[in-house]
């Protein structure tokens, strides 16, 4: 029961992490620029928005005109989401609370561990590319004039949180020692049960 609860907790944390990663990928406020007190310009991975009280947004039409950090971040975030989707399927098959692969405890725990590792790789990709994106924004901010440079926005923090939650959930799912503890205890009980009748005959 304890290992099944840990798997459920890990799956739930990874699911929340994936939702945060998807939300961060779709958010507009990856970087921002302010002109005065009211006018704001926001740049996202898919569109840019600007305005005062009423904001107008435009979708990035040409991929080649985008900055390098936007192209790389978009590609790696999509790869992370795709890997997380595969990890969802794999971990669902390997979790103890599901009826897939019944009677194959060792293979089931190994499948759950593989799904957890995939979650960890996905979260690590998200954190690495987000940190690199922030580094590029800070570098351009230091090199350019402060009035013409961008600052990183709220989507960066959402992406970091999503990556950390995905890694944490994958860690719980890939804890094979936790998943094997209950099976080892049941096997030891069976061995004791088989030894007792033999000792009675002696």
Per the listing, tokens 């088989």 go with 194
Give the single-character DSSP code of 1: -
Give the whole-angstrom CA distance, residue 20 versus residue 156.
Answer: 11
Tokens of 82: 């795709």
Give the whole-angstrom CA distance, residue 163 versus residue 171.
Answer: 12
Sign for the pseudo-dihedral over CA of 100, 105, 110, 114: positive
Q: Which residue has the higher pLDDT, 7 or 198?
A: 7
Tokens of 149: 């440079």
pLDDT digits (tens, 9 = 90+) for 134-185: 998 888 777 665 555 677 889 999 999 999 999 999 998 887 555 444 444 4
Can you tell me the mean pLDDT for 99-119?
Answer: 78
Would you state the pLDDT for residue 38?
64
Q: Hey, which of 8-22, 29-43, 162-176, 186-200 has the most confident mean pLDDT?
A: 8-22
Share of the chain above pLDDT 90, in %: 33
Tokens of 97: 């609370």
Q: What is the pTM of this model?
A: 0.78
Fold designation for 2-27+67-192:
Butyryl-CoA Dehydrogenase, subunit A; domain 3 (1.20.140)
Alpha carbon separation from 50 to 44, 47, 170, 198 (Å, rounded) = 11, 10, 38, 82
Q: Is 191 helix (H, G, I), strand (E, B) or coil?
A: helix
pLDDT band at 199 (very low <50, low <70, confident <90, very high): very low
Indicate the burial class of 197 (C-beta count within 10 angstroms; 0-12, 13-18, 19 or more).
Answer: exposed
Give the total residue count for the chain: 202
User: 132 and 72 in contact (C-beta within 8 Å)?
Assistant: yes
Would you state the pLDDT for residue 2?
40
Task: Select from 78, 20, 85 the least CA-distant residue to 46.
Answer: 78
Tokens of 193: 């049960």
Distant-in-sequence, close-in-space partners of 132: CB < 8 Å, separation ≥ 6: 69, 72, 73
């Amino acid at each position: 029961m304890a290992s099944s609860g840990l798997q459920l907790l890990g799956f739930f944390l990874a699911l929340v992490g994936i939702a945060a990663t998807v939300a961060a990928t779709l958010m507009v406020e990856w970087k921002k620029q302010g002109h005065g007190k009211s006018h704001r310009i926001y740049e996202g991975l898919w569109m840019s928005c600007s305005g005062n009280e009423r904001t107008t947004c435009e979708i990035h039409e040409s991929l080649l005109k985008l900055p390098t950090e936007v192209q790389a971040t978009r590609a790696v975030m999509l790869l992370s989401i795709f890997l997380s989707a595969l990890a969802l399927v794999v971990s669902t098959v390997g979790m103890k609370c599901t009826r897939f692969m019944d009677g194959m405890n060792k293979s089931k725990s190994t499948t759950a561990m593989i799904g957890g590792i995939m979650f960890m790789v996905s979260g690590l990709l998200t954190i690495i590319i987000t940190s690199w994106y922030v580094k590029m924004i800070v570098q351009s901010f230091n090199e350019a004039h402060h009035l013409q440079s961008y600052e990183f926005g709220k989507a960066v923090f959402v992406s970091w949180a999503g990556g950390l939650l995905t890694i944490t959930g994958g860690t719980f799912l890939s804890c094979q020692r936790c998943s094997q503890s209950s099976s080892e205890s049941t096997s030891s009980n069976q061995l004791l049960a088989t030894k007792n009748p033999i000792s009675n005959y002696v």
